[in-house]
Amino acid sequence: MSVQELSVQEPSVQGLSWADAIDRDEPRTRRAWHLVPGLLLVTACAVLVLAVLLTGQRPTQAPVGLPDAGPLAAWTVMLARTMMRLGAVGAVGCLVAAAWLLPQEASRSQALSALHRRLLRAAGRWSLVWAVASVLLMVSGSAQLLGTPLPGALSSSAVWGYVPQLAEGRALMVTAPAVLVITVHAAQLRSRRGMHLLTGVVLLALAPMALTGHAATAGNHYVATQSLVLHVLGVTVWTGGLLALLHLRGATGTTQATALTRFSSLALGCFVVVALSGLVSASTRLGVDVGAWRSTYGALVGAKLVLFVVLGAIGWTHRRHTLPSITAGRRGAFWRLAAGELVIMSAALGLAVALARTAPPVRAGVVAAPHPTLRTIERGLQSPTPDRLLLDSRPDALVMTVLAVVTLSCVVVYGRAARQDGRARAGLLWFLAAVALLLWSLCGGLAAYGSAVLSGHVAQLLVCAVLVPRLLTRAACLLPQVQQPQAPDERAAGRVLTSMDPLSAAVLLSVFLCAVYATPVLELTLRSPAAHLAVDLLGVAVGSVGLLGTTLLAAPDPDRRGRVDLLTGLVLAAFGVGLSATVRPLALDWFAALRWEWSDPVTDQRYAAVALFVLALALVAAGALRRRRVPPG
């Protein structure tokens, strides 16, 4: 049935079809849309209550003799969390829509358009809901733990004094000032730059709450927390953007079409972020343990997964059918589908609140951490074997998300370049090989041993700083835009690149390796996963800069590239000699405290030296072979 036939059969509003009434923003329809926030809150709360009751997590009375705040406090905590998340969704969505979704022409004049002012006022109202819910959550959460009945908690100095002692209370105290800034200043903004700045503030305000809870105490703290932060940001922007589009119902057809098209691209990006971060989060808590998935926590995750698949199907329908209908002038097609999508999103929000109060299951085979400050090593790590190095995984939500976005962007770039030169297809294959190698190094089996043994750390850094840059440079050389010698760039970065030669590239790599292995940076990367990731990515940058300056920005010269490989091999061989001659193993205190049954620091450092020698020999052989192929003269 076509969209026109559907609109004819719909109930009329003052003589118009429902879709036409939405397009013309009739008063009765406008009042109906004002009920949407309340409907979303009711839906989220209903799903929350249903999930709590079905999973047997109904608040109960404390044992006789212990202080008890009563069921009211427990239900208030859940309601406040739901209101807070819904307020955050609305505030973020309205700011994102005002700053990025509306077309540029709407705000070129000094005064903002009526749509901008409407969205900014709505952002202020949503942030007010967020702020009130945060205060309510502070009080009710503290009262629940102290056993103080809720009616008298507001006037209790003990309840307010206990708030800073809770992780969630401290997070709310950090978030509250940012939310108040949005409440006060959102409606006063007069420029797009101000909207961008305030959007950044509201996104940062989401992080503290995401960093508390079960993610903060998960076995892999870093992976669990960063995946949850990305998940919350993706869901909030996605849901909030859709909710903010309701404020555009009276806009012109061109404005609506532009905003909806931009939101479709934004929603696709959020879908990828939510999918990857959710996958990583579930793997850290549930893995592939069937018993863990049968737990209450696993059941709630499964319910969220079902809703996520439904939302993905709706998004596909939007891109495939709804956007063409909007372009053709049938704007009501979007609102019908968006209303159902918002209801499903609010149901997912209610499940998320129920999931936040559910303890993850203890997975079978997980043992205690072998180091008192362990945050970078998997529990129960076994000896490295070829199959474990190739097939095991250590997911990193941030790395996977960034690589997914970069890969999609480069696929588009190489696809366009292939129309000019067929060699760009080969360049895309080289780029995908580089991404796959980097993904294996940072999220695969090798990543699990990067902080457990020195040989794993060295191998991971060699892949990032030596192998991946060579694949990336090979891919870049096959782009038509850079196949010719590049003119010197007057900027500082351009002057550095164009002045690079093989010796400079080797010296740069040598300085980088010294900075990592001859300073306290090594132990910092062992203890901090963020520092470890930063050093690995810096290795990719250092290696790529050296190769770009010597092989890409200069005229193609096989002899020059051969000298780069030769000098790099000599640098790695020198470091291998240094490791072999070191009497005291590097970071001995860290590795000795791990007490692996399958490795000891002295022997493992020799393995690290062997890895350096093997790669050095391969580079020297490749460089000599490349130089031999250069024709004389």
Q: What is the mean pLDDT of the chain?
A: 79
Side-chain half-sphere exposure of 129, counting CA atoms within 13 A = 21
Burial 225-247 (b: 16+ CB within 10 A, else e): bbbbbbbbbbbbbbbbbbbbbbb
535 residue type, one letter: V
**Beta-strand runs (E) in 130-204:** none
pLDDT value of residue 546: 77
pLDDT value of residue 106: 42
pLDDT value of residue 332: 63
Q: Which of the four pLDDT bands, split at 50, 70 and 90, describes residue 165?
A: confident
Q: What separation in angstroms does the CA of 105 have from each of 58, 116, 407, 420?
A: 53, 12, 31, 34
Please state the length of the chain: 633
Question: Which residue bears the tokens 């209450």?
Answer: 296
pLDDT tens across 185-195, in order? 888 887 878 88
pLDDT tens across 202-211, in order? 888 888 877 7
pLDDT surpassing 50 at residue 60: yes
pLDDT surpassing 60 at residue 486: no
For the chain, give the percent of residues with pLDDT over 90.
21
Q: What are phi and psi of 12, to 5 degrees?
A: -90, 155
Number of neighbours of residue 404 by Cβ within 10 angstroms: 17
pLDDT tens across 553-566, in order? 444 556 677 888 89
H or E stretch including 17? strand 16-17
Q: What separation in angstroms does the CA of 131 have from each of 83, 117, 138, 183, 386?
A: 10, 21, 11, 8, 53
Question: Which residue bears the tokens 């952002």?
Answer: 123
Bridge partners (DSSP) of residue 16 are 13
Residue 384 region, left (φ>0) first, then alpha (ψ -120 to 50), else beta?
beta
Cβ 22 vs Cβ 332: under 8 Å: yes
Q: Which of the four pLDDT bands, split at 50, 70 and 90, describes residue 373?
A: very low
pLDDT surpassing 70 at residue 499: no
Identify which of 287, 280, 278 has the alpha carbon closest to the alpha carbon of residue 355. 278
Mean pLDDT is lowest, of 76-85, 415-424, 600-609, for: 415-424
Identify which of 288, 256, 544, 512 has the alpha carbon closest to the alpha carbon of residue 395. 288
pLDDT value of residue 3: 35
pLDDT value of residue 64: 61
pTM for this structure? 0.72
Maximum pairwise Cα distance, the chain: 95
Question: Which residue bears the tokens 């980097």?
Answer: 438
Mean predicted confidence (pLDDT) in 392-418 = 84
Bridge partners (DSSP) of residue 12 are 17
Number of neighbours of residue 207 by Cβ within 10 angstroms: 16
| Structure tokens, 423 | 């060699």
Mean predicted confidence (pLDDT) in 44-61 = 84
Number of neighbours of residue 306 by Cβ within 10 angstroms: 12
Q: Which of the four pLDDT bands, split at 50, 70 and 90, describes residue 367?
A: very low
pLDDT value of residue 329: 63
Mean predicted confidence (pLDDT) in 59-87 = 80
Mean predicted confidence (pLDDT) in 112-133 = 87
Identify which of 102, 41, 124 has the alpha carbon closest to the alpha carbon of residue 266. 102
pLDDT value of residue 463: 96
Residue 263 region, left (φ>0) first, then alpha (ψ -120 to 50), else beta?
alpha
- DSSP structural state of residue 66: S
Mean predicted confidence (pLDDT) in 431-447 = 92
Classified as helix, coil or strand, 444 is strand
Q: What burial class does residue 193 get, using C-beta atoms within 10 Å of its C-beta: 0-12 exposed, 13-18 middle, 19+ buried?
A: exposed
Cβ 238 vs Cβ 274: under 8 Å: yes
Calpha distance 629→633 (Å, rounded): 12
**Helix crossing, 192-210 with 71-96: angle to 10°?**
150
Q: Which of the four pLDDT bands, split at 50, 70 and 90, describes residue 168?
A: confident
pLDDT value of residue 217: 46
pLDDT value of residue 117: 85
pLDDT value of residue 607: 93
Helices (H), 321-422: 323-327, 332-356, 386-391, 397-418
- DSSP structural state of residue 549: I
pLDDT value of residue 9: 37
pLDDT surpassing 90 at residue 259: no
131 or 628, which is more confident? 131
Mean predicted confidence (pLDDT) in 480-487 = 54
pLDDT surpassing 80 at residue 382: yes
Identify which of 90, 96, 33, 86 has the alpha carbon closest to the alpha carbon of residue 262. 96
Question: Which residue bears the tokens 């002012």?
Answer: 117
153 or 270, which is more confident? 270
Task: Kindly write down the DSSP assignment for every residue of 240-260, as one continuous string.
Answer: HHHHHGGGGTTS-HHHHHHHH
pLDDT value of residue 365: 45
Measured distance between the N- and C-terminal CA atoms of the chain, rounded to whole angstroms: 74
Q: Which of the four pLDDT bands, split at 50, 70 and 90, describes residue 213?
A: low
Question: Which residue bears the tokens 């990543």?
Answer: 447
Max mean pLDDT among 379-388, 485-494, 599-608 falls in 599-608
Cβ 195 vs Cβ 95: under 8 Å: yes
pLDDT value of residue 63: 62
pLDDT value of residue 354: 87
pLDDT value of residue 457: 94
pLDDT tens across 309-345, in order? 999 888 888 777 777 777 666 666 667 677 788 889 9
pLDDT value of residue 516: 94
Q: Which of the four pLDDT bands, split at 50, 70 and 90, describes residue 172?
A: confident
Q: Which of the four pLDDT bands, split at 50, 70 and 90, describes residue 544?
A: confident
267 or 114, which is more confident? 267
